[in-house]
Structure 1
Amino acid sequence: MSEAFYTDKARVRASFEKAAASYDGAAVLQREVSDRMDERLGVIRHTPLTVLDAGSGTGYGAAALRARYPDARVVELDIAHAMLAASRGKQSAARSLVGRLFSRARPWQVCADVEALPLADASVDMVWSNLAIQWLNEPDKVFAEFRRVLKPDGLLMFSTLGPDTLSELRAAFAGQDAATHVNRFLDMHDLGDALSRAGFAQPVMDMEKIVLTYAQMRDVLRDLKAIGAHNSTAGRSAGLTGKHFWRRVEAAYDAQRKEGVLPATYEVVYGHAWRAAPLPGRLADGRQVIEFVRPARTAS
């Protein structure tokens, strides 16, 4: 992936800060994928006591995790403080309705970058991340951080977006100018390789495509803006684009209309893997322990 397609993390953070108020109204895909991830947990034998929701947004996934694991501490972590505040507000409203019985669900929250987790080594039993790591440029660093904070035999479960995401929108912009207009995402196989490089065991990867439909291209862009999914690439246009440019792009998108609606395809990639317990004679990072024994002296 060239640097022109790298995302600007400061812009990503600013976009999600602005989108916190409108996020829940447009996050149809995010909720659907979260529900599908939760269903997968039903067939995995694991009972965590501490769960990290990495890229927690407004708290939809964290609520499902608390419901599934009522005895667990669920830590919500997001790069945008406004997203965490929105989650906190929703839970505060819920507590006011049910009183003290709901007090155990009070959220633990951390505003931080998933590539630099402010958590101790081997401090959580499970890392859950729903549609968050696609905003990072290289997966190795975040997977290394996830493995660092997981306890031995801890579970990583995540979803992200693959390269066919928003292919229709990307095709509409193609050839219009030299700038990048749609974020690019990593292939499932590259993510699986990165998991192995990070030292995860038994990685399982799969993919499905989910298609949302819209009446007009402006509706697609409106929803992307509402969830904070702006074009955050380093190669984006620095200036304004004119009416003629947008008419050409809209015409190119409209040419892809099917049965009266415009498709917006999302390639959703799912993965889970384990931080294996160290083998006998090895350290937690996989290095082998070699014991040097000084030979016993013999009498001369």
Structure 2
Amino acid sequence: MDPLFDPRHVRRAFSRAAAGYDAAAALQAEVRTRLLESLDYLDDRAPLVVLDVGSGTGHAAAAMKKRWPKAQVLALDLASPMLRQAKKQAGWWKPFHRVCADARALPLAEGSVDVVFSNLCLQWVEDLPAVFAGFRRVLRPGGLLLCSSFGPETLGELRAAFAQADAAPHVSPFASIAQFGDALVAAGFRDPVLDRDQFTLTYPDLPALMRELRAIGATNALATRRRSLTGRARFAAAAEAYEPLRDASGRLPSSWEVIYAQAWAPAPGAPIREDGHEIAAVPLSQIPIRRRSP
């Protein structure tokens, strides 16, 4: 099967975005804050080793080092320029280690991590069960996984506008909350809890939205994407298709669906399935949906 995403493109896009990422990533910062609040589920337990997968510029790693000064905190990212930016967060008072590696092949020993944290990284990974299996491998029994990802409603307006102008895809497809839950179950995680937020950001025009997407590295990473530049005629057609969506203040809306997941690594030797049945289930009817605008 041909790959869905081009990992080299993902690495290049985030490498180019590293220097100006924080200035443009307001939504990412808000989601990070909400995900960090979920660390309270550890109660008074202090982890020894914490892994931040897709750490970007290192703000979450720095926050966890501040929360647990005695813990070994590892910031792991595919793009080395992001890790160079992360060094600015790792002062002598809150040092953490930086590792350039792929989330799909974690260079850590089995059962060596107490917490795996991953904020808005997994939307660039097509095989979620395999990645979650890797997370389970490195987590100690009873370890905590906290992660977030963009859902399929993200950039729906942009997707629809370009679909009227061009047959080639311009927006990456993202896994649904049901697929997220299924992947956690398939990897053997216990007691998964999922939640989602719907954010709406607004922009003066389509070029402003596209500039922000480039600034945060969120460009089209599909392996089947058009390799040439989007022509002026196609871009103008997409902009025209977007125009009717302007809100009462005259700005263009952009939807961002964020999925959050929390789960626990099972006891040693726990099977992924028991008696042919899944060891955990995610009843979608019980997943709350919060709709907020930052």
- TM-score (normalizing by structure 1): 0.86
Percent identity over the alignment is 47
Task: Tell me, in whole angstroms, the C-alpha distance in 2 between the residues paired with 1:78 and 1:26.
Answer: 19
Task: Tell me, in whole angstroms, the C-alpha distance in 1 between the residues paired with 2:229 and 2:265.
Answer: 47
The residue number in structure 2 matching 1:265 is 255
Distance verdict in 2 for CA 1:162–1:287, change over 3 Å = closer
The residue number in structure 2 matching 1:209 is 198
Task: Tell me, in whole angstroms, the C-alpha distance in 1 between the residues paired with 2:83 and 2:202.
Answer: 29
Q: Residue deviations 1:69-107, cap 9 Å, x none?
A: 222111000000000000113434xx4xxxxxx1xx222
Task: Tell me, in whole angstroms, the C-alpha distance in 2 between the residues paired with 1:195 and 1:221.
Answer: 33
Amino acid at match of 1:106: P
Task: Tell me, in whole angstroms, the C-alpha distance in 1 between the residues paired with 2:240 and 2:101.
Answer: 41
Task: Tell me, in whole angstroms, the C-alpha distance in 1 between the residues paired with 2:17 and 2:114.
Answer: 30
Q: Residue deviations 1:211-270, cap 9 Å, x none?
A: 111111111111110111111112211223322211111111121111211111110000
Q: Residue deviations 1:101-159, cap 9 Å, x none?
A: x1xx2221110001100000000000000000110111011100000000011000000
Amino acid at match of 1:67: K
Amino acid at match of 2:24: A
Distance verdict in 2 for CA 1:61–1:90, change over 3 Å = closer
Match of 1:20 among 18, 21, 34: 18
For the residue of structure 2 that corresponds to 1:255, the secondary structure is helix
Q: CA deviation at 1:287?
A: 9.5
Match of 1:166 among 121, 136, 155: 155
Contact 2:61 2:75 (8 Å CA) reproduced: yes
Task: Tell me, in whole angstroms, the C-alpha distance in 2 between the residues paired with 1:241 and 1:139.
Answer: 30
For the residue of structure 1 that corresponds to 2:65, the secondary structure is helix
- The size of the alignment, in residue pairs, is 272
Distance verdict in 2 for CA 1:75–1:285, change over 3 Å = farther
Q: CA deviation at 1:286?
A: 6.1
Q: Confirm whether residue 198 of structure 1 aligns to residue 187 of structure 2.
A: yes
Question: Structure 2: 5+ residue runs without aligned partners?
Answer: 275-294
For the residue of structure 2 that corresponds to 1:178, the secondary structure is coil
Question: Structure 1: 5+ residue runs without aligned partners?
Answer: 96-101, 289-300
The residue number in structure 1 matching 2:47 is 48
- TM-score (normalizing by structure 2): 0.88
Q: Confirm whether residue 252 of structure 1 aligns to residue 241 of structure 2.
A: yes
Amino acid at match of 1:65: M
For the residue of structure 2 that corresponds to 1:42, the secondary structure is helix
Amino acid at match of 1:147: R
Amino acid at match of 1:248: A
Distance verdict in 2 for CA 1:198–1:247, change over 3 Å = same
The worse-fitting range, judged by mean Cα deviation, of 203-212 and 39-48 is: 39-48
Aligned ranges for residues 82-161 of structure 1 at < 5 Å? Answer: 82-92=81-91, 95=92, 102=93, 105-161=94-150
Contact 2:188 2:273 (8 Å CA) reproduced: no
Task: Give runs of ≥4 in structure 1 deviating > 4 Å.
Answer: 284-288
Contact 2:159 2:170 (8 Å CA) reproduced: yes
Task: Tell me, in whole angstroms, the C-alpha distance in 1 between the residues paired with 2:140 and 2:8.
Answer: 30
Q: Confirm whether residue 179 of structure 1 aligns to residue 201 of structure 2.
A: no
Amino acid at match of 1:11: H
Distance verdict in 2 for CA 1:185–1:109, change over 3 Å = same
Amino acid at match of 2:187: A
Contact 2:152 2:175 (8 Å CA) reproduced: yes
Distance verdict in 2 for CA 1:262–1:20, change over 3 Å = same
Task: Tell me, in whole angstroms, the C-alpha distance in 2 between the residues paired with 1:246 and 1:175.
Answer: 10
The residue number in structure 2 matching 1:74 is 73
Amino acid at match of 1:242: G
Match of 2:267 among 256, 277, 290: 277
Task: Tell me, in whole angstroms, the C-alpha distance in 2 between the residues paired with 1:285 and 1:20.
Answer: 40
Amino acid at match of 2:53: A
Alignment RMSD (CA, Å): 1.8
Task: Tell me, in whole angstroms, the C-alpha distance in 1 between the residues paired with 2:182 and 2:154.
Answer: 20
Q: CA deviation at 1:32?
A: 0.3
Q: Look at both structures and tell me which one has the larger radius of gyration over its CA atoms.
A: 1
Q: Residue deviations 1:193-227, cap 9 Å, x none?
A: 11011010001111110111111111111111011
Amino acid at match of 1:269: I
